[in-house]
Amino acid sequence: MIVLSGAELVLPDRILTPGTLAIENGRIADIRPGGAQGRMPSGHSPSLFAFHGHYIVPGFIDVHVHGVDGFDSLDGNTAVRSIAARLPRYGVTAFCPTTVACAPDALRLVLDQVRSARETADPRSARVLPAHLESNFINPEYRGAQPMGCLRSPRAALDGETGAGRAGASGRAGKTGEFAASDILREIERAAPDVGIVTLAPELEGGLDLVRWVLARGPRVSLGHSNATYDEALAAIAAGARHATHLFNRMPPLGHRAPGLAGAILQTDEVAAELICDGFHVHPAIVRMAIAAKRPSRVLAITDGTAASGLPVGRRARLGGQPITVGESAAFLDDGTLAGSVLTMDRAFQGLVGRIGLSPVDAATLCSTTPARELGLVGHGVLAPDAVADLVVLDAQFSVVQTYIAGQLAYSRT
Ligand SMILES: [Zn+2]
């Protein structure tokens, strides 16, 4: 048994201060008020850590992260395991490895790694969840840093037109190549349980049919990288889309006479929205408004982190094979295109409490509870008796001191 004593325990509805939490057999065995030892279930001598002045929160769950510390999910080899090994130092206990639009063979390599890491997890590594595909079926006008040569039409994919349906000219990235739109669907179908979220633009020709096709195979559909009108967005939600990819980024701005995709997401309770909480991708005022409109239970804090996350400014890294550079506030392609963030989940939590002004309870809801519930991870994302012991100890400045995964110490700052 491990006993974490005397900390501020961030429970789903309040902070227990001070409180003591016991871990046994990978689960939270007990949560009690007070900091005294010796009042916990006994039987064998516990390892006791005194954490007065510290916070304990449920482990962060990042459903949109491409990489960290120089590793990109599309690097091949053991990239997914390398990312999983590094994320606990940022308080992440589970994550969806996230891809940009890529060729089918590159996608297969990632999804094979996801399957392997889910079947046999490495010790002291974040849990690998089913992947998030920022897919080939996004709007070319709103592609951001995604390679144009990899984009395809949903209609062409569903019709299985070999070699047809190119959504754009060949891109400048190396790994684009020639492939049929339907080849991507074949990879998704083959790996279905290891695909958690598919981001697509529903306004593309065949987009709504693709929403239904994806849902029929299990993954969640996320609306994003899209120019969908309000009505087109509502049609996609009616077809079953329940997730939105980085609300406000790579979609037209909210207008009071043209609510568009952003307006449809904000007003629709069924849709949970990702927000990049780095203070740069979305202005803090808009973050506050979005959280107020949707409430913390419908918002997922994400990093959209890249291999550039965790590296010093000026360092080079990759995103889906394309070179990117670490900037002060984000990562950028060589032509200056914004290419994801340099954010990590510990700093997302710090920003939500500091810059945005949320309570630690609401910040933990965005960083842990909502993502766990949306992904159907029962017993995850909360500090509660019998919940899975995935949790993070933060100091008074909300920096990570320890990270536990299934009750095992996965990271310790000292
Ligand atoms: Zn992304």
CA of 172 from ligand 1 middle (Å) equals: 19
Q: Are 92 and 61 contacting, i.e. CB atoms less than 8 angstroms apart?
A: yes
**Termini Cα distance of the chain:** 21
Q: What is the pLDDT of residues 16-33, one digit of tens each?
A: 999 999 999 999 999 999
Residue (of 287, 304, 274, 273) closest to 358 by Cα position: 287
Q: What is the CA(304)–ligand 1 centre distance, in A?
A: 5
Q: What percent of the chain has pLDDT over 70?
A: 93
Q: How far apart are CA 80 and CA 128, in angstroms?
A: 8
Q: Mean of the pLDDT values across residues 276-299?
A: 97
Answer yes or no: is pLDDT of 157 > 60. yes
Q: Mean pLDDT score of the chain, rounded to an integer?
A: 93
Residue 8: what pLDDT?
A: 97
Is the bond into 12 cis (omega within 30 degrees of 0)? no
Please check whether the domain covering 59-382 is classified as CATH 3.40.640.10: no
CA of 135 to the centre of ligand 1 (A): 10
Tokens of 167: 């959504």
**Ligand 1: centre distance to CA 53 (Å):** 35
Ligand 1 centroid – CA 27 distance (Å): 32
The 10s digit of each residue's pLDDT in 329-383 is 999 999 999 999 999 999 999 999 999 999 999 999 999 999 999 999 999 999 9
Does residue 176 carry a pLDDT above 70? no
Q: Is the pLDDT of residue 169 over 90?
A: no
When pLDDT is cut at 50, 70 and 90, the band that residue 47 belongs to is confident
Domain boundaries, the chain: 2-56+399-412, 59-382
CA of 224 to the centre of ligand 1 (A): 10
Residue 165 is predicted with a pLDDT of: 43
pLDDT class of 43 with cuts at 50, 70, 90: low
Position 42 scores a pLDDT of: 53
Mean pLDDT computed over 192-215: 98
Answer yes or no: are the C-beta atoms of 17 and 54 closer than 8 Å: no
**Which pLDDT does position 36 carry in this prediction?**
61
pLDDT tens-place string over residues 55-74: 999 999 999 999 999 999 99
DSSP per-residue string spanning 152-199: B-HHHHHHT-TT--B-SS--SSTT-----HHHHHHHHHHTGGGEEEEE
Same fold: 2-56+399-412 with 59-382: no
- Which helix H or strand E contains 400, and what residues bound it? strand 400-405
Q: Categorize the per-residue pLDDT at 174 as very low, low, confident or very high, splitting at 50, 70 and 90.
A: very low
Distance from residue 116's CA to the centre of ligand 1 (Å): 23
Alpha carbons 55 and 72: distance in angstroms, whole number: 31
How sure is the predictor about 160, in pLDDT bands with cuts at 50, 70 and 90?
A: confident
Q: How far is the CA of 297 from the centre of ligand 1 (A)?
A: 22
Q: Which of 69, 278, 304, 390 is catalytic?
A: 304
Confidence of residue 241 (pLDDT cuts 50, 70, 90): very high
* β-pair type (391-394, 27-33): unpaired
Q: How far is ligand 1, taken at its centre, from the CA of residue 16, in Å?
A: 35
CATH number of 2-56+399-412: 2.30.40.10
SS3 356: coil
More confident residue, 313 or 47: 313
Please compute the mean of the pLDDT values over residues 232-260 and round it to a whole number. Answer: 97
| Residue 235 confidence class, pLDDT cut points 50, 70, 90 | very high
> Residue 409: enclosing H or E segment and its boundaries?
strand 408-412
Active site residue 304: yes
